[in-house]
Structure 1
Amino acid sequence: MSADHPLRSVLYVPGEKARALEKARGLDVDALIIDLEDSIAPEMKPQARESACRTIAAGGYGFRQLALRVNPRGSAWFADDLKAAAAARPDIVVLPKVESPEDLAEASRRLDDAGAPPDLALWAMIETPLGLLNLREIAQAGVGAGAGGRLAALVLGTNDIAKDTGVQPGGDRAALVPWLLQAVLVARAYGLRVFDGVYNAFSDLEGFTRECTQGRRLGFDGKTLIHPSQITSANRVFAPAPEDVAQARAIVDAFARPENAEKGVITLGGQMVERLHAQSAARLLALDAAIRARESSPGDKPAARPASAGA
């Protein structure tokens, strides 16, 4: 997955809901997580696995990244979920309740044994106290040889974190912010994407937008969603702002001038700008270009009036 692939909005869809999965083909969402875990009753899990993997294998989702959230390591469904994922070949396998490097290593081994391609990425959900405590070790192992270098992102499970720690996040999530920042810090240290947790009150779009804005300021790449009504706000908030694009272009253009070609630091607009800022600016411009290319593409247009994918 290209580092400049937009992943502002990541929507969970229950794996057994064929109607919701079909509707999701027309949503302007960057990625879909087809769920086999929390949203599926134990007796329905084999049926949901079959339905979800059949949908993934059929394709037709265009620009949307397809992820399959399997059941956690140690569960009765883990091995069969990974074997089915290897055959269906989504873009991503999402591992819930990751608490140790071995969770990633075993998942990667099982995918390898089942013939999964090497570019099938893993996303690790961090949603327990132990997962938070071991976050650095998880990320370090996930990008290393032991996990096949498959780890591409961290996903925060803020509901479970709050429940398991007894923390009361409040409207501003102040009690969670240290852990949110820790996840962003670790992700950046190991070159990973990082996604904010869900906002439960899906009818409260004003509150959702505020939380997206907070997540963007904390450094998250995007937001996980539980309802299609949240997609538009997430896409807007996590897209580069016009003023940021203009500044990034000015920085890249300045360093491209012949007189600055060998310089590590230049003056621009009365400020000192380092070459590392040019690298960050180039990534932002690539992301903006990818978003614009998608929006202007004549094919694969999202539905004008998204229906509920959770219906």
Structure 2
Amino acid sequence: MLDRLTAPLGASLYVPANHKSLSQIANGDKLEQARSLIFCLEDAVAERDLSWALFNLSVVLAHMRPNIAAERYVRVRSPEVMARVLAMPGVEKLDGFVLPKVTRHNFETYFRLVRDTGHALMPTLETAEVFDEAEMRQLRTLFDAPGVRTRIRALRIGGNDLLALLGLRRPRNVTIYRTPLGPVIARLVTTFRPYGFVLTAPVFEYLDLPELLDQEMQEDLAYGMAGKTAIHPTQIAPIEQHFTVKAHDLAVARAILDESSPAVFRMNDAMCEVATHRAWAERMVEQSQVFGPGDALRLP
């Protein structure tokens, strides 16, 4: 059985913490397909609504059912807001926290607050430091420290914040990888993935362009993304569909992992090399255990 906090994330639905149906959503009474939920106290909540959002969240946490199928996180606004959430009754039912605008200068402030709890963390990379390769290497060193590494569930890429720093908004006719963020995301992958950190893909903000979402998801997976932010329930199934594993890929993965297989062999008219393809094969098998085979989900 897979460890809940090491399995692929798939679609993570952002829900404003002042949402009128937060209690039902948090208890799994709605959105049964949601694999992980993130209750947002940051950009999705206006400053004037923060007090109400915190009160709403406190009521929800107090009555939230433990151990439902979906992972549940709170995206905090600042270390001060995080401290207030940690003081709420029921906070232990959360799987963890999404940390906004993380840099090497503020991460330790956040981490000190949860050092003695069991909460996982998902730092979000969305500040000007993301464009500086040396800064990202130093941040990786912080994440890789003893006692910290095992608490990092995933690193989230904040696409809209990064585009805003460039004075841009994602166009309606191209994927995120066809913007200036394409090379940035590629560099984040090569900076963090070889060291065991997984990343999640930026939000796709247009609800009326399903074909473009489909194209972007294919590119997300080509870059090795372990999940993608969803901003509306209608995006959950299209995102999850791409994380299912095609039957022929699963068969190849199992053949690569078979101890009796030769070092190099041909299958489905492709070269399979055990030494170099093992990591991919292990990921495919793990992904199939979480999301099922590719034929398991058919969208209408």
- Using the size of structure 2 for normalisation, the TM-score is 0.82
Select the residue among 215, 229, 233 that pairs with 1:228.
233
- In the aligned structure 2, how far is the partner of 1:53 from the partner of 1:94? 17
Report the counterpart of residue 267 of structure 1 in structure 2: 265
User: Following the alignment from structure 1 to structure 2, what is the Cα–Cα distance between the partners of residues 158 and 105?
Assistant: 23
Per-residue deviation, residues 43-70 of structure 1 (Å, max 9, x unmatched): 3323322322443451357221111100
Match of 1:193 in 2: 198
- Count of residues in Structure 1 that have an aligned counterpart in Structure 2: 283
Aligned to 1:22: 24
User: Gaps (5+ residues) in structure 2?
Assistant: none
Distance 1:7 1:289, change over 3 A: same
* 1:32 paired residue among 11, 34, 37: 37
Number of the residue aligned with 1:77: 81
Find the partner of 1:178 among 180, 183, 186.
183
The answer on whether the counterparts of 1:95 and 1:123 sit within 8 Å (CA) in structure 2 is yes
- Report the CA distance shift for 1:276/1:52 in structure 2 as closer, same or farther (over 3 A): farther
Q: Alpha-carbon deviations, 1:4-54, whole Å to 9, x = none? A: 524110110011214145146232021111101111122332332232244
Relative to 1, partners in 2 of residues 1:177 and 1:279: Cα closer, same or farther, differing over 3 Å?
Answer: closer
Partner Cα distance (1:221, 1:267) in 2: 28
Q: What CA distance in whole angstroms lies between the structure 2 residues aligned with 1:10 and 1:65? A: 9
Alpha carbons 1:109, 1:147 under 8 Å: kept: no
**Is 1:123–1:154's contact at 8 Å kept on the other side of the alignment?**
yes
Tell me if 1:238 matches 2:243: yes
TM-score (norm 1): 0.80
Structure 1 residue identity aligned to 2:218: T
Tell me if the contact between 2:160 and 2:169 (Cα under 8 Å) persists in the aligned partners. no
Asked if 1:96 corresponds to 2:69, the answer is no
- Three-state SS of the structure 2 residue aligned to 1:77 is helix
Equivalent residues in 2 for 1:1-311, closer than 5 Å: 2=4, 5-23=7-25, 25=28, 26-27=30-31, 28-56=33-61, 58-59=64-65, 62-73=68-79, 77-84=81-88, 87-100=91-104, 102-112=105-115, 115-117=116-118, 120-133=119-132, 134-145=135-146, 147=148, 149-167=150-168, 169-170=170-171, 171-173=174-176, 174=178, 175-253=180-258, 256-257=259-260, 265-269=263-267, 271=271, 273-292=273-292
The 1:179/1:116 distance shift into structure 2, 3 A limit, reads same
In structure 1, distance between residues paired with 2:273 and 2:46: 54
Secondary structure at 2:13 match in 1: strand
Q: What's the offset of the Cα at 1:99?
A: 2.0
Q: CA deviation at 1:130?
A: 1.5
Counterpart AA for 1:105: E
Distance 2:153 2:89 in 1: 17
1:276: Cα distance to partner?
A: 4.6
- Counterpart residue number, 1:301: none
Contact 1:97 1:131 in 2 (8 A): no
The answer to whether the 8 Å contact 1:4/1:283 transfers is no
1:14–1:35 CA contact under 8 A, matched in 2: yes
Please report how far the alpha carbon of residue 282 of structure 1 lies from its aligned counterpart in structure 2 after TM superposition. 2.6
Which 10-residue stretch deviates more, 121-130 or 21-30?
Answer: 21-30
Q: CA deviation at 1:206?
A: 1.8
SS at match of 2:37: strand
3-state SS, counterpart of residue 292 of structure 2: helix
Structure with the bigger RCO (C-alpha within 8 Å, sep 6+) is: 1
Letter matched to residue 121 of structure 1: A
State the AA in 2 paired with 1:103: N
Contact 2:58 2:85 (C-alpha < 8 Å) held by counterparts: no
Secondary structure, counterpart of 2:106 in structure 1: helix
Give the 3 Å change call, closer, same or farther, for CA 212–62 of structure 1 in structure 2. Answer: same
Residue 213 of structure 1: how far off its partner (Å): 1.6
